[in-house]
Amino acid sequence: MRTLVVLMCLIAQCFSGFAQNIDYLLYKFKGHKEPVRGIAFNKSGNLLATGGEDKALFILELDSYETKYEHKGNYFQIADIEFFGESQLFITSGPDIKLIDLENNSLALFKGNTTHLWSIDFAPERNKITAGSYDKNIKVWNVATQGIELVLEGHEKSTLPVVFSHNEKYIVSGSRDLTIKIWNAKTGELMKSLERHSGNIYDVTFHPNNKYFATASDDKTIRLWDMETGEVKKTYAGHDAAVLDIEFSPDGYFLYSASLDGSVIIWEVNSANKLYSYISHVGAVNAVEVDQSGYFTATGGDDGIVYIWESAKVIAVDTYYHDNYSNEKQKLEKLRSKQKGESKEQYNIRLKEIQQEHFQIIDKYFKMYMEENNYRNIP
């Protein structure tokens, strides 16, 4: 989802020498021919959309990992994707945002930006969409009318990441002018301007409780900010190159960071300790996304690969309760073989029931993990 990084691909090769770490890898998708920029799960978690510099859009059915739709004729590369409901998507299309269905039929077009887009974010309750771009001004569109409702002026350079808070009261933007700005999402009023990073800001994401947001920067760090005070509560440092994309787990206990150094680090939000690193991409990792259930993560990189992983919750359980968790998981695995006389439909239903039992086991041990460590999801 990060177009600017094309210019830095050669640098990324310097940081692609990690040994692969694939303990929690579930699936490797190799449909793209060029770097992957955008990935998104739908709300129910049964579909994953991927887009990239090859102008291709793929939609995977996650129950089977089969490619449900494949669209290769887009005019522009796809820098970012957002689901609109379960079966429609917003995608970047050069300077515009397109609303399409799963078959790539165009349903709406949001125009008015003068430069190519870097990111998009949708506010479902307000039915508004905003975008970050190489322009220094930020636009907010009404999805129903397709018209521009707000233009936010205040940054001095490109505003690459722009996001709504989860309660949709605020917009936070990050810029190549090294500032983060907080805006009133209804009026467009500038409320705060913050500075702590020493490099370009590539991504912004809100904590699920709306009281905090995180920013990712070219200075190799992620910072956690207090919305009310504007103070930095935590700094997460450990990458060897720019941090390009960040995402909180749905429960707010973990933060994922994708980097130009080829890794995705999972951080414990409260302690700022590293839990684990996904290491499999060659070159930059441009996108990381967590599904709403909190059990699965997807990553996309300059190598054109999309990986689907078990999430931080699973990794924490396996790390702290490995023997007990493994024993219970193995008992379930023995039930996965297709039974004599069982139809495909019956088998698929039973597999979903086994998966739900697996989730219940994970949740049981994760609850123990939180209680034994007096664990919190905020500082």
41 vs 309: CA distance, rounded Å: 13
Q: How confident is the model at residue 336 (pLDDT cuts 50, 70, 90)?
A: confident
- What are 289-303's pLDDT values in tens digits? 999 999 999 999 999
Q: CA quadruple 350, 353, 358, 364: dihedral positive or negative?
A: negative
pLDDT value at position 10? 32
318 vs 340: CA distance, rounded Å: 33
pLDDT value at position 17? 39
Q: How much is the pTM? A: 0.92
* Mean pLDDT score of the chain: 92
Q: What is the percent of the chain with per-residue pLDDT over 90, rounded to a whole number?
A: 85
178 vs 182: CA distance, rounded Å: 14
271 vs 26: CA distance, rounded Å: 28
- What are 135-194's pLDDT values in tens digits? 999 999 999 999 999 999 999 999 999 999 999 999 999 999 999 999 999 999 999 999
298 vs 160: CA distance, rounded Å: 22
Alpha helices (H) in 43-88, listed in sequence order:
none
Q: How confident is the model at residue 344 (pLDDT cuts 50, 70, 90)?
A: confident
3-class DSSP state of 355: helix
Question: Dmax of the chain from CA atoms?
Answer: 68
Comparing 14 with 243, the larger pLDDT belongs to 243
The DSSP letter of residue 152 is E
Alpha helices (H) in the chain, listed in sequence order:
9-12, 312-320, 322-333, 344-372
Residue 143's contacts (CB-CB under 8 Å, 6 or more residues apart) are 84, 99, 108, 110, 122, 127, 128, 129
Q: How confident is the model at residue 20 (pLDDT cuts 50, 70, 90)?
A: low
Residue type, 151: V
Q: CA quadruple 300, 302, 303, 304: dihedral positive or negative?
A: positive
pLDDT value at position 333? 86
| Residue 256, φ and ψ in degrees, nearest 5 | -105, 140
E strand residue ranges, 45-199: 47-52, 57-61, 66-71, 81-84, 88-93, 96-101, 106-110, 117-123, 128-133, 138-142, 148-152, 159-164, 170-175, 179-184, 190-195
Buried b (16+ CB within 10 A) or exposed e, 173-200: bbbbbbbbbbbebeebeeebebebbeeb
Residue 262 has pLDDT above 50, yes or no: yes
96 vs 363: CA distance, rounded Å: 42
Residue 324 has pLDDT above 60, yes or no: yes
Candidate from 264-268, 272-276, 351-355, 356-360 with smallest mean pLDDT:
351-355
Nearest to 37 by CA among 65, 74, 63: 74
106 vs 98: CA distance, rounded Å: 7
Candidate from 48-62, 69-83, 361-375 with smallest mean pLDDT:
361-375
Element (H or E) spanning 257, and its range?
Answer: strand 254-259
The answer to whether 242 touches 202, Cβ cutoff 8 Å, is: yes
The DSSP letter of residue 21 is B
What angle do helix axes 322-333 and 344-372 make, rounded to 10 degrees?
170
What pairing do the DSSP bridges indicate for beta strands 243-248 and 106-110? unpaired
| Residue 270, φ and ψ in degrees, nearest 5 | -70, -45
Candidate from 7-11, 147-151, 201-205, 318-322 with smallest mean pLDDT:
7-11
The domain defined by 3-311 folds into Methylamine Dehydrogenase; Chain H (2.130.10)
Residue 61's contacts (CB-CB under 8 Å, 6 or more residues apart) are 46, 47, 67, 68
Candidate from 12-16, 111-115, 251-255, 278-282 with smallest mean pLDDT:
12-16
Q: How confident is the model at residue 199 (pLDDT cuts 50, 70, 90)?
A: very high
pLDDT value at position 15? 35
